[in-house]
Amino acid sequence: MAEPRTLILMRHATAGHPGSHRDHDRPLTPAGTRAAAAAGAWLRSTLPPVDAVLCSTSVRTRQTLAAAGIDAPAGFTDELYGGGNADILEQLTALPDSARTVLVIGHAPGIPSTAYELATLAAGGGTGDGGVAAEPNPIHDELRHFSAGALAVLTTRGSWATLAETGARLTTVRHPDG
């Protein structure tokens, strides 16, 4: 059996209001920077080392990554800024098999929606025909209120290339403290 892969889908930490900034250029608040640093410390102490990062090009996602202190090769892509499930999955399925643990930093609703879709697929739920997950899972409810700085941890034994067909098991949803 293949060694498991770990996927971490993270929503950027709390950003300031647009004010004089375009949405793409909104920076993190001081509380957002602290929350991102705490999330990074949790990731480093709890999960396998991150091998690759996929990150939106927005200022707040880049700052979330920097504050988290994750030292892994990072790719920055516009497809994660405002991208939906299909855009996120396209980026994931292009990952090399050598990447065992991947962190994706993006935005809502795409990040929690992708986590829900992958978890539903892995649970044997609907795949576009209006179906529902085979068994209700309380952890899936946590994806409905996916606050800034929250992350979902999923695992799969499949390749990244087949992720969109096989899904991944949702193991943890973590919201920032406070």
Is 27's pLDDT higher than 50? yes
Contact 20, 161 (CB under 8 A): no
Distance CA 89, CA 137 (A): 22
Q: What are phi and psi of 100, to 5 degrees?
A: -95, -35
For strands 151-156 and 5-11, give the pairing: antiparallel
Q: What are phi and psi of 135, to 5 degrees?
A: -130, 130
Overall domain count for the chain: 1
Helix or strand (DSSP H, E) at 103:
strand 101-106
Distance CA 24, CA 81 (A): 8
CATH number for the domain harbouring residue 76: 3.40.50.1240
Alpha-carbon torsion (76, 78, 84, 87), positive or negative: negative
Render pLDDT for 137-176 as a digit per residue (tens, 0 to 9): 666 777 888 999 999 999 999 999 999 999 999 999 999 9
Output the average pLDDT for the chain: 90
Alpha-carbon torsion (56, 133, 161, 47), positive or negative: positive
Closest CA to 15 of 140, 105, 87, 79: 105
27: which 2 tokens?
């920076």
Contact 168, 9 (CB under 8 A): no
Render pLDDT for 45-66 as a digit per residue (tens, 0 to 9): 999 999 999 999 999 999 999 9
Q: Which residue range is the domain that position 59 belongs to?
A: 5-174
